[in-house]
Amino acid sequence: MKRLENKIALVTGGSRGMGAAIVQQLAAEGATVAFTYNKGAEKAASVAAELTGKGQRSLAIAADSADPSAVVAAVDKTVAEFGRIDILVNNAGIAVMKPFEDYTLEEYNQTMDINARAVFVGSQAAAKHMGKGARIITIGSCMADRVSGPYGTLYAMSKSALTAFNKGLSRDLGPRGITVNLVQPGPIDTDMNPADGAHADAQRKNISLGEYGKVEDIASLVTFLASPESGYITGTAITIDGGTNS
């Protein structure tokens, strides 16, 4: 039997990057997966088509994480379609990197709304439908613990909010047998942070292993945290950064 047989998962931001890899790995382990997207309708459709090709049901939901009512609606649609949620992966995120003096209030609000508020709101909505053995897994960043250069102030601030959120929520949901964990990636090759991008070499110098991580590295950890094998892990942050923060 596969590790996630009969489980229902919802992944936010599943149309590209880590989210798409997480969708595929959870499904490969037997989960039925719903996922959200914002602008990438075509990419979302191709993620869903890949699952259909493997004979798996899925649900692609247009839901802007900046809009709390859309986040709640995505949870409700998942439950309406599949009956419940066993695994929530809060993955959707944005990174606006620039000199501190140049941030606008709009960028601040957008970043905090997507990277922090949506995680709060989505977890709250999903928890109402979760039972014993359910999982809430959030994608933070190793930058919550260490910022190794300029331009990351707002992003790091938004991700550090998840650290305490994760701890608090593990206390709230622990008595119900629900685990809550934070995954903190380092540089991972995606559209957000391409391994051949202008700032890649500076990041690479900081990585003990000398190279960017792959989306599958993050998906494997998330899949483990979603599985029954991780049942005694909760309230913790696991940094997966090739040694960036060491």
Residue 59: beta bridge partners? 34
CB of 54 vs ligand NDP, minimal distance in Å: 20
Q: Which stretch binds ligand NDP (CB under 6 A): 26-34, 59-67, 120-128, 174-182?
A: 59-67
Q: Is 232 a catalytic residue?
A: no
187 binds ligand NDP (CB under 6 A): yes
Touching ligand NDP, residues 37-56 (CB under 6 A): 37-40
Phi/psi-derived region of residue 139, left when phi > 0, alpha when psi is between -120 and 50, beta in every other case: beta
- The interface mask with ligand NDP, positions 110-129, x = CB under 6 A, is ----x---------------
**Binding-site member from 4, 7, 13, 134 for ligand NDP (CB under 6 A):** 13
**Binding-site member from 179, 193, 227, 239 for ligand NDP (CB under 6 A):** 193
Question: Angle at CA 143, nearest 5°, toward 97 and 13?
Answer: 70
Helix, strand, or coil (residue 238): strand
Radius of gyration of the chain (CA): 17
Phi/psi-derived region of residue 208, left when phi > 0, alpha when psi is between -120 and 50, beta in every other case: alpha
Tokens 């609000």 label which residue?
109
* Greatest alpha-carbon span in the chain: 54
CB of 212 vs ligand NDP, minimal distance in Å: 7
179-185 and 237-240 strand pairing? parallel
Q: Which amino acid is at 51?
A: L
Annotated catalytic residue: which of 103, 155, 212, 232? 155
Q: Which stretch binds ligand NDP (CB under 6 A): 24-32, 62-70, 79-87, 229-237?
A: 62-70
Q: Which amino acid is at 68?
A: P
Catalytic residue IDs: 155
Summarize as ranges the residues that interact with ligand NDP (CB under 6 A). Answer: 12-19, 36-40, 64-66, 91-95, 114, 139, 141, 185, 187-188, 190-193
